[in-house]
């Protein structure tokens, strides 16, 4: 299939899968009183005693008294109280006791491992909360809320081992909190350069460690990724003998087969091909060593090898294609729909499409557009996952941009909640300290759900973005006044 035929397929898809009209969704303001008491032992090393009382009409009061003990490195007792006033008429203002952030914004709560902290926070006063779903579980956290919303999990990427994350007790305590994260994606350790550093010489040390860490807290793993343009081994990009179609196809198939075989059912899913499509022109094949040498058949060869490996080893692992700028119904999404159809017409296994969702605050697709786009994929009988969500800001962050960011997080998570076959949402790591954003997009950052005002190896602070995710999962409507 040529690029032109791919685009033609896309145009057909465009006709067949017109966006449903989601504009008519209505909401009702209600008064809700909720009292939750939790006494929970999560692991041998972490104990949480949390009492939460929440009364919500236009005023919400929350008292949280978590006690966290991290064996060997530190102990923590962190009473925290906050009161939130929501007014439909006043302008935005916020304040908080935490001041160590470099951003001129207000974290929504502070979790201190060393001292007692209390904060009073006024959240965005333009927000009205509407209860459409009352959580049923007694524990709290993003993953708990995701499950209550009918999702499989709320997950996160993590870059362990071998980085600062893996040595940061505060990072690890949060990562290991099954109430917060029910899924983990290895940010780097399963990529080509890591798993096959020399041809047919495999190294699964990092990947195996990741699997062990993730499974220790009951997480499922979205294994990432088998074939991509980037982070390849030198032997692929600078071969001693120039590749031919046949030799590179054999190398590609060998990699896909051996890596799937090794990790087996420890992977909930594999991103078989990552980012196959281009932005210019949107929806064309992306140029890379695979495409340049083999042509578009490389994509189908990868899925063919993966399909056979899953069958031969009797695995339950799901096969995904993953890309960015396919989160709304543009040419790239339409071309991706064409790829899904082509995979199915060739009887190759394709279970889902990963919507990366690396967004910029204030520039994310509208919730209705994200829903319509997800529906266009699920209409093809595949699942979707929001695979790499982050929402970066132009630095320095401001109160206004942080509020916008919260709304952007809310909209994407809420879109997934709205679509039955959106399996779940994965954030592309959860603490700004370890985000890929600042080094990749100079001048931008502050894109994750938590920050560490004191830097690495210091307590995490939940940002407004965290609240946006939680509110979306809890079915609370966020409405501009
Ligand atoms: C990023 C990692 O987070 C970085 O640590 C690494 O240096 C580059 O890759 N899309 C993807 C991910 O599918 O694999 C990328 O991860 C981010 C963009």
Residues with catalytic annotation?
Answer: 275, 388
Q: How far is the C-alpha of 224 from the C-alpha of 352, rounded, in Å?
A: 14
Contact present, 156 and 168 (Cβ < 8 Å): no
What is the Å distance from ligand 1's center to 200 Cα?
24
Q: For ligand 1, what atom is nearest to the CA of residue 429?
A: 3
Superfamily the domain 13-27+38-473 falls into: Glycosidases (3.20.20.80)
Instruction: Look at residue 139 in the predicted model and tell me its pLDDT.
Output: 81
Instruction: Look at residue 117 in the predicted model and tell me its pLDDT.
Output: 28
Q: For ligand 1, atom 12, which residue shows the shortest CA distance?
A: 187
Pocket of ligand 1 (CB under 6 A): 159, 187-188, 274, 356, 388, 436
Q: How far is the C-alpha of 341 from the C-alpha of 104, rounded, in Å?
A: 47
Q: For ligand 1, atom 16, which residue shows the shortest CA distance?
A: 187
Question: In 10 A of CB 398, how many CB atoms?
Answer: 14
Q: For ligand 1, atom 7, which residue shows the shortest CA distance?
A: 436
Q: How far is the C-alpha of 402 from the C-alpha of 471, rounded, in Å?
A: 15
Instruction: Label residues 234-270 b or e (16+ Cβ within 10 Å = b).
Output: ebbeeeeeebeeeebbebbbebbbbbbeebeebbbbb
Q: Which of 222, 288, 325, 428, when mutated, tests ligand 1's pocket best, judged by the most ligand atoms within 8 Å of its CB?
A: 428
Task: Provide CB contacts within 8 A for 21, sequence distance 6+.
Answer: none
Stretch (H or E) spanning 388: strand 383-394
What is the Å distance from ligand 1's center to 230 Cα?
9
Q: For ligand 1, what atom is nearest to the CA of residue 358?
A: 18
Burial class of residue 445, CB neighbours in 10 A (0-12, 13-18, 19+): buried
Q: How far is the C-alpha of 334 from the C-alpha of 376, rounded, in Å?
A: 9
Q: How far is the C-alpha of 128 from the C-alpha of 384, rounded, in Å?
A: 29
Q: How many residues does the chain have?
A: 481
Give the torsion through C-alpha atoms of 292, 297, 298, 301, to 10 deg: -170
Q: Which three-class secondary structure state does DSSP give residue 341?
A: helix
Handedness of CA 267, 385, 389, 333 (dihedral sign): positive
The pair phi, psi for residue 59, each rounded to 5°, is -130, 135
What is the Å distance from ligand 1's center to 22 Cα?
32
Instruction: Look at residue 49 in the predicted model and tell me its pLDDT.
Output: 32
Q: For ligand 1, what atom is nearest to the CA of residue 191?
A: 14
Q: Which of 436, 437, 447, when mutated, tests ligand 1's pocket best, judged by the most ligand atoms within 8 Å of its CB?
A: 436
Question: In 10 A of CB 230, how many CB atoms?
Answer: 12
Please report, for the chain, the start and end positions of each structural domain, with discontinuous segments joined by +.
Answer: 13-27+38-473
β-bridge partners, 198: 201
What is the Å distance from ligand 1's center to 188 Cα?
7
Q: Which residues of the chain have pLDDT under 50?
A: 1-135, 137, 480-481
What is the Å distance from ligand 1's center to 303 Cα?
21
Contact present, 347 and 311 (Cβ < 8 Å): no
Instruction: Look at residue 201 in the predicted model and tell me its pLDDT.
Output: 98
Candidates 284, 318, 202; CA nearest to 5 is: 284
What is the Å distance from ligand 1's center to 338 Cα?
25
Q: For ligand 1, atom 13, which residue shows the shortest CA distance?
A: 274
């Amino acid at each position: 299939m040529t690029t032109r035929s791919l685009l033609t397929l896309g145009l057909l898809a465009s006709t067949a899968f017109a966006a449903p009209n989601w504009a008519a969704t209505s909401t009702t303001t209600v008064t809700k009183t909720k009292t939750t008491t939790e006494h929970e032992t999560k692991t041998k090393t972490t104990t949480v005693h949390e009492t939460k009382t929440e009364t919500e009409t236009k005023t919400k009061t929350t008292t949280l008294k978590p006690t966290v003990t991290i064996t060997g490195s530190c102990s923590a007792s962190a009473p925290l109280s906050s009161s939130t006033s929501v007014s439909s008429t006043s302008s935005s203002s916020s304040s908080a006791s935490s001041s160590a952030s470099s951003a001129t914004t207000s974290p929504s709560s502070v979790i201190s491992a060393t001292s007692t902290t209390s904060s009073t926070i006024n959240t965005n006063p333009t927000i009205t909360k509407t209860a459409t779903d009352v959580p049923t579980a007694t524990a709290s956290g993003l993953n708990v809320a995701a499950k209550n919303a009918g999702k499989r999990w709320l997950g996160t990427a993590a870059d362990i081992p071998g980085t600062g994350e893996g040595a940061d007790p505060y990072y690890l305590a949060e990562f290991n909190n099954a109430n917060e994260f029910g899924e983990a994606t290895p940010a780097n350790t399963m990529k080509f350069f890591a798993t096959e550093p020399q041809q047919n010489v495999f190294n699964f040390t990092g990947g195996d460690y990741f699997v062990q860490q993730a499974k220790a807290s009951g997480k499922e793993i979205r294994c990432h990724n088998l074939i991509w343009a980037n982070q390849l081994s030198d032997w692929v990009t600078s071969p001693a003998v120039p590749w031919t179609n046949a030799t590179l196809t054999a190398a590609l198939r060998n990699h896909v087969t051996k890596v799937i075989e090794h990790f087996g059912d420890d992977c909930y899913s594999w991103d078989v091909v990552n980012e196959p499509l281009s932005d210019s022109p949107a929806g064309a094949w992306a140029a890379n060593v695979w495409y340049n040498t083999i042509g578009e058949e490389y994509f189908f060869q990868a899925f063919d090898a993966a399909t056979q490996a899953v069958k031969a080893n009797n695995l339950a692992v799901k096969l995904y294609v993953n890309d960015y700028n396919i989160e709304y119904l543009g040419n790239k999404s339409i071309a991706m729909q064409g790829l899904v159809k082509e995979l199915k017409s060739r009887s190759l296994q394709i279970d889902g499409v990963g919507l990366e969702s690396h967004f910029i605050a204030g520039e994310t697709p509208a919730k209705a557009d994200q829903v319509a786009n997800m529906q266009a994929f699920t209409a093809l009988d595949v699942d979707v996952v929001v695979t790499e969500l982050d929402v970066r800001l132009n630095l320095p962050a401001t109160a206004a941009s942080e509020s916008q960011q919260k709304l952007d997080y809310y909209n994407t998570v809420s879109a997934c909640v709205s679509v039955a076959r959106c399996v779940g949402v994965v954030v592309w790591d959860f603490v700004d300290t370890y985000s890929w954003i600042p080094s990749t997009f100079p001048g931008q950052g502050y894109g994750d759900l938590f920050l560490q005002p004191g830097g690495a190896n210091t307590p995490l602070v939940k940002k407004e973005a965290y609240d946006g995710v939680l509110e979306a999962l809890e079915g609370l409507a966020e409405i501009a006044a």
